[in-house]
Amino acid sequence: NVFTSSSSNIIKRNNINTVNEELLNFESTEFNIFKLEDKIGAENILPTVSSYVFASLGLFSLINYTKFENFVYKIAKGYIRSNPYHTDLHAADMVQTSLLFVLYGELKKVLGLSTIDITSLFLSGIIHDYKHPGLTNNYLILTKNEIAIRYNDQSVLENYHVAESFKLINSSKDYDIFELLSADDFKLMRKRVIECVLATDMTLHNKEYHFLKMRIPTFNISKGENVDKIFENVDNVTKYNIQQEFLNVLIHAADVSNPTKPLEIYKIWAKKVVDEFFLQGDKERSQGMKISFLCDRNTVSFPQSQLGFIEGIVLPLYNVIVEYFPNIGYSVSNINGNIEYFKKLKEEEEKNKK
Ligand code: AMP
Ligand code: ZN
């Protein structure tokens, strides 16, 4: 039991043993992060979920536990709690969603991933929106924000999240989670983490989606059959690159996974995300800027924002993912149920307008 093992001090310290077991069911597709937040406090969510994942998957063989604990609490604090959506809770959600992918998708086996690769995936989830200001890349670019200037308008926030995280790791021995790694292993993990976090830039969606989609006819992939063919007769560099493409699309999928959650959970995330968009819209209005897509609280339809996001992005993406990893099918079932809910909501909204 991970909760009683010696490596789970965070969990013990927070007296999580006294928390209802159901709330700690991180391996369940029904896991409710908001209920756990009510019990143990937002500041403990990312450290708790992450330490559970690291302990249960044996990742503390590479990462010093104490340093990890210092690091993950510090990262959690660096998320801006006043953002409606981009907080450490969203990072924790990403980590738990990635755990479901690893377990249900059997990623280690299917993609031949090493412990370094898996560790990189979860570290990426932890840091992937670190210090997010609650504003989009486009806003930062248009307002000539110093972060946009620093990264030359290219994947501005994604570059910022990774660079700030590595700065933190370098800032003190206390946060040096990589101290046990050889120089080569560190180099590899750093490369994986950088690529994974940069892959969360939404402008890469089409590229990532087509990577998966294109290979379905080429390799005759269906319901998890023939995925191994992709890796047949490839050299190590090519294997590394293909694995990275999979990690990229999966981390992106975890990032946009709100609609794959049970409705009650999804509704809370959806409300948070549009609240954040609307705050940006308010800023844009007051600064005389053009109001960004989905950011105008006076005109945006909440159900339509979700239907557009699901039908344009999330459903097509998960439809191809389940061809490779059929046991992730629970996601598509939830998406389809959630579409029905938002369609009804949209109809009601339209009736009320008349
Ligand atoms: P990230 O900013 O790294 O969290 O990237 C995910 C992006 O996907 C967000 O910034 C939003 O633009 C978009 N997104 C995620 N969830 C939703 C949602 N429920 N509705 C609309 N857009 C979303
Ligand atoms: Zn995110």
pLDDT digits (tens, 9 = 90+) for 10-24: 666 555 666 777 788
Mean pLDDT (whole number) for 233-239:
98
Looking at the DSSP bridge assignments, the partners of residue 222 are: 225
What is residue 20's predicted lDDT score, i.e. its pLDDT?
74
Looking up tokens 């896991």 gives 31
Give the atom of ligand 1 at the shortest distance from the alpha carbon of 85.
4
Amino acid (1-letter code) at residue 163: A
Tell me the C-alpha to C-alpha distance, in Å, between residue 304 and each of 150, 290, 317.
35, 21, 19
Q: What is the pLDDT of residues 1-10, one digit of tens each?
A: 555 454 456 6
State the DSSP string of 48-66: HHHHHHHHHTTGGGTS-HH
Q: Ion ligand 2 — residues with CB under 5 Å?
A: 129, 255
Which ligand is in closest contact with the Cα of 261?
1
* Cα–Cα distance, 286 to 2 (Å, whole number): 50
* Cα–Cα distance, 270 to 55 (Å, whole number): 31
Mutation choice for ligand 1 from 256, 257, 300, 313, CB with most ligand atoms inside 8 A: 256
* Cα–Cα distance, 325 to 179 (Å, whole number): 34
* Cα–Cα distance, 219 to 234 (Å, whole number): 14
State the DSSP string of 309-345: HIIIIIHHHHHHHHHH-GGGHHHHHHHHHHHHHHHHH
Say how many C-beta atoms besides its own lie within 10 A of residue 115's C-beta.
15
What is residue 7's predicted lDDT score, i.e. its pLDDT?
45
Q: pTM of this prediction?
A: 0.96
Nearest CA to ligand 1 atom 3: 200
Q: Comparing C-alpha atoms, which of 57, 41, 68 is closest to residue 100?
A: 57
What is residue 21's predicted lDDT score, i.e. its pLDDT?
75
CA of 127 to the centre of ligand 2 (A): 9
Mean pLDDT (whole number) for 92-106:
98
Which ligand is in closest contact with the Cα of 258?
1
What is residue 6's predicted lDDT score, i.e. its pLDDT?
42
Looking at the DSSP bridge assignments, the partners of residue 29 are: none
Q: Strand, helix or coil at 301?
A: coil
| Token pair recorded at residue 183 | 């120089």
Q: What is the pLDDT of residues 160-189, one digit of tens each?
A: 999 999 999 999 999 999 999 999 999 999
What is residue 8's predicted lDDT score, i.e. its pLDDT?
55
Asked if residues 147 and 157 have their Cβ atoms less than 8 Å apart, the reply is: yes
Residue 354 pLDDT grade (very low, low, confident, very high; cuts 50, 70, 90): confident
